[in-house]
Structures are given as structure tokens and as C-alpha cells.
Amino acid sequence: NNELRNIHYLQAKEWIFEAGRTIRKKINDPMVVDTKSSAKDLVTTMDKNTEYFFAEKIRKTYPDHFLLSEEGYGDDLDSMDGTVWIIDPIDGTMNFVHQRRNFAISVGIYHQGVGEIGFIYDVMSDVLYSAKRNNGAFKNDEKLEPLKKHINLDESIIGLNHYWLCNNHLVDEMEMQKLVRKVRGTRTYGSAALEFAFVAEGIMDGYLTMSLAPWDVAAGIIIVNEVGGITTNISGDPVNMLTTNSVLTCNPSIKNTIINDYLYKKK
């Protein structure tokens, strides 16, 4: 119910700010960086410690809630029943390691599979994007405007992850090049969560990438939805929170063109 949801919202916000303060305090400490699935897939002790911080808090405060998360402190879930926190402690770890900025804490809270609460916290800028389902989205205390009713693709700025779009059998590189030529501009920020936040803010019109994990998108989907944006996989189907997904989040007016004209592989 609504009262309970407000409690979870305030609680999550407090933990996010606390985690953010810790990260900022330690931002110049020497880092221990490891690789995971490849040399491009980084993890640091800060990712692990931050996730552990959330996992401990959630387990103590809400023992009946579940956690899906990136660094191993979460539950192994095969359904979205109950209340599930989906957390990326540092989304944009490569930015964290190389730039010490442009990364975010991403927290989505789902109830029976429905996204109820989303937070994306740009830690170094101290900017919090947040949303509760059917309550609008906010950038700090300022309510975000609904997305423009209509936008043409050739007036759009689209976030693309070039690596994934050039290394994935689901898309055709030539079609991607056509898309890049068609749009007004492309951007790559290196944090999926922040790219969702920028779509919600209306400073980008879409974001397209492959192989995102649930914790990269869980909060973003909720926040984008609250300003009238839409998120699907590249076939136009809903994103599944229990698997990796190709993801398109955008102003609804450009969704069909991107999917039909550029994403289906031409035979």
C-alpha cells in the first residue's frame, strides 16, 4: 500500500545518501580493481562494499524482501514474487575507475513484478533522480516535465553503447551506422542508469544498448515511465527483470521507427 511504499522510499533514499557520502569520502583512496567476465568488465572493492552495505541494511530491516544485485550479495531468484530490491551499487564502474565521476547508485524496488520505486544517484554531482509509480519523476526536488509529445528521429539525440552495438549478433552494424547518420547526435556516457536518467530529463531522446543486466535498468525503467517514456527490448517486448536484455528506452514517438527501420536485421 501507499503508506508502506512511502516508508520504503524514504528508507532507500537515506541509505543511498549514506552510501554516496562514503564513496565521496573514499574517492581518492587507492583502488583495488579486478576484472570479471572480460578485461572490459571491472569491479572494485567499492562496488562490493557498497552492495554489502545495502544487502545488510535490507536483510536486517526487511527480512521478507529479496535482493537482486550485481556483486554477489543478492538472492538467486527465479520469480519476481514479493518485494524485490534491484541494486547496482556502482553503475558505470569503468567511469568510477578511470574518471572518478559519472557513475551512479541505481536502486529499483519492485512489488509482484511491478516497478514501484526508482532511484538513480549521480554520486559525485550529488544529483538524485527518483520516482514512485504514478507519482511523477524528480531530479532532486524538482519535478521532471513530461516528455515532448512528438519528436522526429532526425532531431533526436540518442545514447548508444558502440561496443555492444558492434559486438552483438542481434543487430546489424550497417543498420546502426544508418541510425547514427539519421539522428541529430549520439552520446555515450558509460553508465546505463545515468543514460536512463538523461532520457527521463529530456536531455536525450533515447538510449539503445545490448546485454544490460536487470540492475542496470530496474530504476531507470520506472523513472522514464513516469515522464511518459517507454522501455522495451529490441523486439519491442517488455524487459525481463530476471535475464539480461537488449534495451531501448525512448520518447514513444521514435520507438517504432527505431525498432522497425533499424533494429530488425535486414535479410
Q: Which residues bind ligand LIP (CB under 6 A)?
A: 70, 88, 91-93, 161, 190-192, 209, 211-213, 216
- Nearer residue to ligand LIP within complex by CB, 93 or 232: 93
> Cα separation of 260 and 255, whole Å?
9
Shortest distance, position 50 Cβ to ligand LIP, whole Å = 11
> Cα separation of 52 and 166, whole Å?
34
- Nearer residue to ligand LIP within complex by CB, 38 or 134: 38
Shortest distance, position 172 Cβ to ligand LIP, whole Å = 19
> Cα separation of 200 and 45, whole Å?
30
Q: Is the dihedral of CA 66, 68, 74, 76 positive or negative?
A: positive
Which grid cell is 176? 546502426
Shortest distance, position 161 Cβ to ligand LIP, whole Å = 4
Which grid cell is 140? 532532486
Residue 258 gets which letter from DSSP?
A: I
- Nearer residue to ligand LIP within complex by CB, 92 or 151: 92
Shortest distance, position 216 Cβ to ligand LIP, whole Å = 5
Are the C-beta atoms of residues 200 and 119 closer than 8 Å to each other? no
Shortest distance, position 191 Cβ to ligand LIP, whole Å = 5
Identity of the amino acid at 74: G
Shortest distance, position 258 Cβ to ligand LIP, whole Å = 18
What is the phi/psi pair of residue 91, to 5°? -95, 120
Shortest distance, position 66 Cβ to ligand LIP, whole Å = 20
Give the strand pairing for 157-160 and 206-212: parallel
Identity of the amino acid at 110: Y
- Nearer residue to ligand LIP within complex by CB, 71 or 151: 71
- Nearer residue to ligand LIP within complex by CB, 9 or 189: 189
- Nearer residue to ligand LIP within complex by CB, 88 or 205: 88
- Nearer residue to ligand LIP within complex by CB, 50 or 225: 50
Residue 212 gets which letter from DSSP?
A: E
Are the C-beta atoms of residues 210 and 164 closer than 8 Å to each other? yes
> Cα separation of 197 and 194, whole Å?
5
